Amino acid sequence: MRNNVRILLFSVFFIAACGIFYELLLSTISSYFLGSSILQFSVTIGMFLFFMGIGSYLTKYVKKELLNRFILIEIILGFFGGFSSLILYTVFVYAEDFYYIYGISIIGIIGTLIGLEIPIVSRIINFHHDIKDTLAKVLSFDYVGALIASLVFPLLMLPFLGLLKSAFFIGILNMTVALITAFIFRNELINKWRYVIISSFFIIVLLCGWTFSRPIDRFFEQNIYQDKIIFSTQSPYQKIVVTKWRNDLRLYINGSLQFASIDEYRYHEPLVHIPMLLNRNNENVIILGGGDGLALREILKHNDVKKVTLVDLDQVITSLAKNNRIFSVLNKNSMRSEKVTVVNTDAYDYIKDSEELYNTIIIDLPDPKDSDLGKLYSKEFYMMIKKRLAVDGIIVTQATSPFFARQVFWCIHNTCSAVFEKTIAYNVYVPSFGQWGFVMCFNDLAIQEVNTDSVINKLNQALEKSNYLELRYLDANFLSSLFVFDKDTEKIDTDTNFINNQVIINYYEKSIESWR
């Protein structure tokens, strides 16, 4: 019997790992579909713990046939957990308005079943050990399993399996625990072969789901995105999808549109050329983000550029931009330029550790939707940026939409103004995104006076000499309109964004909710 108890203890390790896997999986799915990763992870984990508490409480009513109950719980958990991703994908595609109802229901079922597991296993083991030894051993295996799962999910499971296959895999783990337990303890069970047959059957069902998860995934993705999907993968950091319709190529990250080739130049030309035309020296340029190579394409049009460093976290994106024929045509092989050095690392860490001075710094990062991104729009980050900027240098950052996310936009501007004495905001209209804004900051010797008239005059003079840039959008005739903000987008007061108090995320959450 001692060996059987060891098997039960070992099963605690796996069921603990599965519990963490389910929490992280469902949190990731909700973040992918609904955005706002901090909110989704907080709500999902909080709901999980609540329902686990309910499950633990319900175990007091389980008074007999504990082994049977434990195996049955594992079978039910493996079934619902294994098909959880498929259920939520289906709901999001065909009944999006009811996503929260189904999402909470799935969390409720899985969380309650997880809450039932450990107390029942502890009581079974307690028949053969005293309570002190039982709790020590069970909790030790439980915590070790949770630790390993929390490392395996982001580093191995999500990037290599994806969301659907991960769910099937976790379900198979639960079913395997049920199968092994039923077989080992078969002589102590009522209808001893029933659970072996049932768990074996569902393992086969889940393996079928595993086998066909790729075409299932493509089917649902094709229903989520309007255009034909030509590339889809899960990197260690994000879900990457590329679609194509006629001549329009679109890049999505975690469901959010990054660019549409039909009008991306209306975004990238103002982002790059406004600061670079104003700058007297663009010899050494760094771009943070922009792994698609489109901003880089515009940077390399300037003859005075001698060196460009592109810092983007995700190697999958930069490799796609460099090696995919469609992308390389779009970015004009900018990623292969001898002037360019690509660094795949976090922008915050790179700037913190860098000792180099840059003449122009272009920040083309995703919107501040979570704390990892929010810190890249903080006062502390801009202070580090300033230390890496030449005394006559200029920086520019994308700053979301002044119309759809007005508080976010002006928070970025006001946070920059807390670090740089000279700042100016401008905005453009991009059909795929709507109104979009940028904030430009100048170091002490970059420009003598910063106001709309002086900036426009200097830009007009530079544009007259810049025919070699072959611009498709920027033109002296409408240049002044870029610096005009309408009544519903004009400047407002906001708090400064700090790393330890990221108000910008709250602003972003409110803007998303108001337009959802």
Question: Do residues 393 and 285 touch, judged by C-beta distance below 8 A?
Answer: no
Please list the active-site residues.
364
Region 340-368 average pLDDT: 95
C-alpha span between 247 and 512 (Å, rounded): 30
DSSP β-bridge partners for residue 285: 308, 360
Question: Do residues 128 and 1 touch, judged by C-beta distance below 8 A?
Answer: yes
Which residues fall within 8 angstroms of residue 298, CB to CB, at 6 or more apart?
A: 268, 269, 271, 272, 273
Cα-based angle 395, 256, 329 (whole degrees, multiple of 5): 70
Shared domain for 167 and 242, answered yes or no, is no
- pLDDT at residue 131, rounded to an integer: 61
pLDDT over 80 (residue 265): yes
Tell me whether residue 217 is in a domain.
no
Shared domain for 306 and 388, answered yes or no, is yes
- pLDDT at residue 318, rounded to an integer: 96
| pLDDT digits 0-9 by tens, 317-331 | 999 999 999 999 999
Shared domain for 31 and 152, answered yes or no, is yes
Question: Do residues 215 and 89 touch, judged by C-beta distance below 8 A?
Answer: no
Tell me whether residue 215 is in a domain.
no
First to last CA, the chain: 58
Pairing of strands 284-289, 307-311: parallel
Domain region containing 206: 2-210
Region 334-348 average pLDDT: 96
**Structure tokens, 479:** 């240049």
- pLDDT at residue 128, rounded to an integer: 64
pTM equals: 0.82
Shared domain for 438 and 452, answered yes or no, is yes
Shared domain for 202 and 151, answered yes or no, is yes
C-alpha span between 243 and 228 (Å, rounded): 5
More confident call, 294 vs 136: 294
| pLDDT digits 0-9 by tens, 86-115 | 999 899 888 877 888 899 999 999 999 999
| pLDDT digits 0-9 by tens, 41-88 | 888 999 999 999 999 999 988 888 888 889 999 999 999 999 999 999
C-alpha span between 354 and 343 (Å, rounded): 12
Shared domain for 417 and 388, answered yes or no, is yes
- pLDDT at residue 222, rounded to an integer: 82
CATH, residue 148: 1.20.1250
- pLDDT at residue 512, rounded to an integer: 79
| pLDDT digits 0-9 by tens, 364-411 | 999 998 888 999 999 999 999 999 999 999 999 999 999 999 999 999
pLDDT over 80 (residue 219): yes
Question: Do residues 399 and 438 touch, judged by C-beta distance below 8 A?
Answer: yes
